[in-house]
């Protein structure tokens, strides 16, 4: 990506040129060292490399063109924000950058130091004026999930022009479902007001179809990762899951199917990126947004391969499809609620489904072990990591609990622990 070609667009969005250049340089270098240095990558990754090389360039230009044509851009931090509704009013939903530390000094003037890195990252990208997605969004949707997020939105409200906060249930009770249903109805109205488009059955059905197709493509990719030897690295599969939140959905779906065709052939021929018998890891826990690649990179450079992600940037976020059999807007809205209500985020109490899903995934993907990833100061996932470890060990599935953040300070220590864990699996 030539920076000069997009300079005026970035300035128009109010980005800080120096800080933004510095971010792109760090990102480019990390991508080179972590992604492009991998051996035997499928050719289909070329598309995703291109997307990443243009993640602040061409994709932003596309969004700006959509805006010039009167369409809206909506930013979100959580898989509970229903993309189907956003699509149905011809708007675009983008996931906001939460995967790297930036402008931490500024952030710690706004939020307590012991806030998780994911939340701090969102604030850092805003405080540093380096995220073109955040700056191009006509509306930013926050959600009352964990305490850290919900309190931080009170602060974010003073920093961005159009913050919308969605309330979310904390229990899987009939009352919780009712709350989600009412909040999705309120969100539908907010999207109609923002876009000037009235949502009807046909539009909503189309929105559901587009997003379901993305999920089906991801399901196909996940299925192909069950094979030994692994035809794709966990790092590359994670990247595909991360791009899910940024790219044009139809083009994305086609590109995932294209790489799946190639992986199918690799599986038929028994070709892998790692030798057959390489220890297989299921990663479980907090979501990993771009460019949070630290832990997968350590795992895969320690002699193991990641074969699945029990995460919102992974199977937790895409597990179920929305039923499109309803014959009215109300019935389709109900189907959206039904699907989302099954997401087993650790903010729910109690949350037994997640435990079962982790065990099921470990078996399905033939994982030799599970690495549970908790971000420091993330109460919901770190608290759940303990019963998860116990349940998995009771089921004879070796488990390693990791607590970390986005800094590189603990890389050496993590590598030592992970290498020892992988050795135990061999
Ligand atoms: S549905 S996982 S995307 S809330 S890491 S900010 S939980 S303290 S991200 Fe999430 Fe929606 Fe749930 Fe998924 Fe809080 Fe933990 Fe930080 Fe977290």
What is the CA(144)–ligand 1 centre distance, in A?
10
> How many C-beta atoms surround the C-beta of residue 237 within 10 A?
27
Residue with the smallest CA separation from ligand 1 atom 11 is 78
The owner of tokens 């109010």 is 14
pLDDT computed for residue 3 by the predictor: 84
Phi, psi (rounded to 5 degrees) for 168: -135, 150
The owner of tokens 């959509």 is 66
Give the tens place of pLDDT for each residue, 94-114.
Answer: 999 789 999 999 999 999 999
Average pLDDT over residues 15-20: 96
Average pLDDT over residues 328-343: 98
Angle at 116 between CA 115 and CA 122, to 5 degrees: 95
Phi, psi (rounded to 5 degrees) for 306: -90, 125
Residue with the smallest CA separation from ligand 1 atom 4 is 145
Looking only at the bridges linking them, the beta strands covering 163-167 and 139-144 are: parallel
Residue 294 near ligand 1, beta carbon < 6 Å: no
pLDDT computed for residue 64 by the predictor: 98
Give the tens place of pLDDT for each residue, 224-283.
Answer: 999 999 999 999 999 999 999 999 999 999 999 999 999 999 999 999 999 999 999 999
Residue 283 near ligand 1, beta carbon < 6 Å: no
Residues 6+ apart with CB under 8 A from 167: 143, 144, 179, 183
- Helices 45-53 and 17-31, axial angle in degrees (round to 10): 160
Residue 96 near ligand 1, beta carbon < 6 Å: no
* Residue 390: pLDDT over 70: yes
Residue with the smallest CA separation from ligand 1 atom 8 is 378
What is the CA(165)–ligand 1 centre distance, in A?
15
What is the CA(59)–ligand 1 centre distance, in A?
26
Question: Whose CA is closest to 152, among 119, 113, 105?
Answer: 119
The preferred substitution site among 82, 345, 383 for testing ligand 1, maximizing ligand atoms within 8 Å of CB, is 345
Phi-psi region of 406 (alpha: psi -120 to 50; beta: other; left: phi over 0): alpha
pTM, to two decimals = 0.97
Question: Whose CA is closest to 88, among 6, 210, 178?
Answer: 210
Angle at 352 between CA 389 and CA 152, to 5 degrees: 85
Give the tens place of pLDDT for each residue, 185-215.
Answer: 999 999 999 999 999 999 999 999 999 999 9
pLDDT computed for residue 1 by the predictor: 58
Residue 116 near ligand 1, beta carbon < 6 Å: yes
Token pair for 188: 């539908």
Atom of ligand 1 nearest to the CA of 343: 1
Atom of ligand 1 nearest to the CA of 286: 5
Residue 145 near ligand 1, beta carbon < 6 Å: yes
């Amino acid at each position: 990506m030539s920076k000069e070609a997009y300079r005026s667009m970035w300035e128009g969005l109010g980005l800080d040129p120096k800080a933004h250049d510095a971010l792109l340089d760090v990102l480019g270098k990390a991508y080179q060292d972590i992604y492009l240095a991998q051996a035997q990558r499928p050719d289909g990754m070329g598309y995703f490399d291109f997307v990443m090389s243009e993640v602040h360039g061409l994709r932003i230009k596309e969004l700006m063109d959509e805006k010039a044509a009167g369409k809206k851009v909506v930013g979100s931090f959580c898989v509970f924000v229903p993309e189907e509704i956003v699509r149905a009013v011809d708007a675009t939903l983008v996931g906001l950058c939460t995967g790297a530390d930036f402008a931490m000094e500024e952030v710690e003037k706004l939020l307590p130091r012991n806030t998780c890195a994911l939340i701090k990252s969102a604030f850092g990208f805003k405080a540093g004026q380096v995220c073109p997605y955040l700056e191009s969004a006509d509306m930013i949707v926050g959600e009352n999930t964990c305490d850290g997020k919900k309190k931080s939105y009170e602060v974010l409200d003073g920093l961005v022009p159009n913050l919308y906060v969605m309330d979310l249930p904390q229990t899987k009770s009939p009352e919780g479902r009712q709350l989600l249903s009412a909040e999705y109805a309120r969100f539908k109205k907010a999207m109609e007001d923002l876009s000037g488009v009235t949502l009807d059955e046909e539009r909503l059905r189309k929105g559901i179809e587009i997003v379901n197709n993305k999920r089906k493509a991801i399901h196909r990719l996940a299925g192909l990762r069950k094979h030994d030897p692994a035809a794709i690295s966990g790092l590359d599969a994670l990247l595909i899951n991360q791009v899910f939140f940024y790219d044009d959905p139809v083009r994305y779906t086609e590109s995932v199917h294209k790489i799946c065709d190639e992986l199918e052939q690799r599986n038929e021929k028994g070709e892998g990126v790692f030798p057959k018998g390489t220890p297989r890891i299921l990663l479980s826990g907090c979501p990993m947004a771009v460019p949070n690649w630290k832990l997968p990179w350590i795992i895969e450079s320690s002699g193991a391969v990641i074969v699945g992600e029990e995460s919102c940037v992974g199977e937790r976020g895409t597990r179920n499809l929305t039923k499109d059999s309803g014959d009215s807007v109300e019935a389709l809205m109900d189907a959206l609620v039904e699907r989302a209500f099954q997401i087993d985020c650790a903010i729910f109490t109690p949350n037994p489904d997640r435990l079962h899903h982790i065990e099921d995934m470990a078996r399905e993907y033939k994982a030799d072990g599970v690495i549970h990833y908790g971000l420091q100061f993330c109460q919901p996932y770190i608290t759940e990591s303990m019963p998860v470890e116990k349940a998995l060990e009771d089921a004879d599935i070796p488990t390693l609990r990791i607590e970390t953040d986005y800094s590189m300070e603990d890389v050496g220590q993590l590598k030592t622990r992970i290498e020892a864990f992988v050795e135990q699996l061999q």
